[in-house]
Amino acid sequence: MNKRLRNDMESNNRNRSPNDRFMEPKVLIIWMVLVTAILAFATLGNSQRNKVAELSVKEVVTAVRKGEIASGSMVSDYRGGEGWYKIQGEFRQAPAVEGDTASKGGVMRFVAEGRLTQEDFVIIRDAFKEKRASNWASELLGSLLPILFIVGLLYFIFTRQLRSAGRGAMNFGKSKAKMLTRDREKITFKDVAGCDEAKEEVREIVEFLREPKKFQRIGGRIPKGVLMVGPPGTGKTLLAKAVAGEADVPFFTISGSDFVEMFVGVGAARVRDMFEQGRKNAPCLIFIDEIDAVGRQRGAGLGGGNDEREQTLNSLLVEMDGFDGHEGVIIIAATNRPDVLDSALLRPGRFDREVVIDLPDLNGRYEILKVHAKKIKLSSKVDLSITARNTPGFSGADLANLLNEAALIAARYGKNEVETSEMDEAREKIAYGRERRRLMDDEDKKIVAYHEAGHAIVQAVIDDGTLPVHKVTIIPRGQSLGSTMMSPSKDILNQSKRRLINQICCSMGGRVAEEIVIGDITTGASGDIKMATKIARKMVCDWGMSPMGPVAFGENQDHIFLGKEIARDQNYSEKTAQLIDAEIRQLIEGQFQRARDILLDKRSALDLLAESLLKHETLDGIHVKEILEHGEIRSPIHVRPPSPNPSDDEEDGEPKKATGKEDKGEVGPEAAAPAGAPA
């Protein structure tokens, strides 16, 4: 039976990796038992190989007199009566013992048992060490303890296997959903800002969980599932926690990747177990974060679908809207890739409602800043509305990070509260990267200064008030050696043709300034050229802003593993492709010439701005405006004190050298966004 049980356990663990199987407690115990058995058999074998001679007491006494005993011990045995002893020991060399009591051929150990007289005891007491006699209780315990240990161990293993037999090996099918307890700090709708429309959508769920009869008496049915869609960092998970806090019901949270396992059928089993837990705690909420990990389209991809993931998705579909209802269990899921989800998952009856949580607008950013500013010591001079206006494209997570970075900067300078300068520095650090104090020679500084001055002069001349110049610097940030920063006066929802053309013109300002002043060109304008080409191509191919008319040329390339498109569909002829290239070239060259005309006309302002940048390193937008209007800087220039922390850009006392891969500057309205500022 023991052998059969061991074989069953080995077959259950056959599909596991060796490392995981070895670290399981049950397996460790089995290995201990096996090692103990091997040692016992080895000891028994050694005892059988090492033969022991059985002698009489008189023979032992004679051997002692002859000096043939090397060592030994004797212990009194109460069972034989008074003077009865058990003697064991070793000879100095193998003797030739007569009789049948000893074996021939070099026996070194012996045992003897018998009654010793007083005279014999005196003779052998110096040769043998006398031990204390053992009683029957200790002998019984010593013999039964190993047996009891083995029996208890086998019983423990056998009962554990019977308990887990119905749930699968090692309980892999058990759900990993975590239940948030009510004693934790509650998150309510007051803690969520910048998404008022989304809060109104989910507020009905809270009202239903509080007063279900209000909806049921007129035949209303609460949505079974709510899908939250939006870019990363917009507050999808936070809004789900707020729903749980407002409703005051059990809240289970799980990630979509928790359903994915290397073992077949585990994901589907976990889905079933998750809904079973939900039914036991109904009414409750189940939040599945990043559901696109398990809810992707079935049968997609070049090599067919993922059978295991599809089984998990099928189980989820059946549990959400199958024959078995789940009354009182509301599913909330979040994803930033709704385009890859299976259509069966999005139909009414499963995810009835889709809540879009987009990037916050101006008012939303202001409300988010006020929520996170409660934990930050802000100066009374800090205007959060200005910060909100200067942070277009920032998500809620970006704004929270901005306030945290500002607090860290203020602490680094030894301040007790966050001021406006720390807020600006934190915003620039997130949007453009951290300042890198890099040693440059005079020639490199001059090139960077004129490059950035070219961007700033062109943008200041062509701007219509929507995208004014905020700051110009020749201090390296991120991957750029300098930056020209613009701050939109409002959220730009639609781009006009005129603004797009102005962006191309501004991006050409750096290259044009290099040609006019230096008489040569550098690699610093590589990012500007890429951005201008991208804008021009979209204007011609996607937006219909060219003489070729309102026609879209080509289809957007989709991911090949979604099973939609393998390559870009070029639905136009080669002649049309040549016309597209010609229109793109004409757009860029036209704006290049326009930037040249502007800088030649404003040559004195270009030189003055570049000289001021070489002297002060950083200038504000008001200084650029004053140079163009008055030919001089009239406003005071605020100089930032150096950071008390040493720069990380130097190692072993030698500064790092600039490489040709770094751009001279960053320009464009996209540079105001934290993600992917063009260079």
For the annotated catalytic residues, the residue numbers are 452
Amino acid at 371: V
Tokens of 294: 């398990």
Query: How buried is residue 621: exposed, middle or buried, by Cβ count under 10 Å (0-12/13-18/19+)?
Result: buried
Sheet strands (E) in 147-218? 178-180
Find where tokens 């004679």 sit: 62
Q: Give me the phi and psi of 72, to 5 degrees please.
A: 175, 180
Question: First CA to last CA across the chain, in angstroms?
Answer: 74
How far apart CA 674 and CA 186 sit, in angstroms, is 30
E strands along 452-521, which residues?
A: 469-473, 483-486
d(CA 277, CA 569): 48
Measure the CA–CA gap between 582 and 598, rounded to whole angstroms.
Answer: 24
Please say whether the beta carbons of 525 and 532 come within 8 A.
no
Q: Which residue has the tokens 């997609």?
A: 300
CA–CA separation, 389 vs 414, rounded Å?
Answer: 28
Alpha carbon 393 to its chain's center: 23
For residue 625, give the nearest of 608, 611, 601 by alpha carbon. 608
Q: Is 159 in contact with 9 (CB distance < 8 Å)?
A: no
DSSP label of 515: I
Q: How many residues does the chain have?
A: 679
Cα→Cα distances 426→223, 408, 469, 471, 664, Å: 42, 9, 18, 14, 22
- Cβ–Cβ under 8 Å, residues 179 and 230: no
Inter-residue contact 202 to 222 (CB < 8 Å): no
Backbone torsions φ then ψ of 111, nearest 5 degrees: -135, 150
Residue 583's SS3 state is helix
Distance CA 85, CA 218 (A): 98
- DSSP 8-state class, residue 672: G
- Residue 368: count of CB within 10 angstroms of its CB: 27
Longest dimension (CA), the chain: 133
> Nearest CA to 133 among 89, 90, 73?
73
Task: Find where tokens 């040329």 sit.
Answer: 553
Alpha-carbon Rg for the chain, nearest whole angstrom, is 42
Question: Distance between CA 340 and CA 336 in Å, rounded?
Answer: 10
Residue 532 near residue 504 (C-beta atoms within 8 A): yes
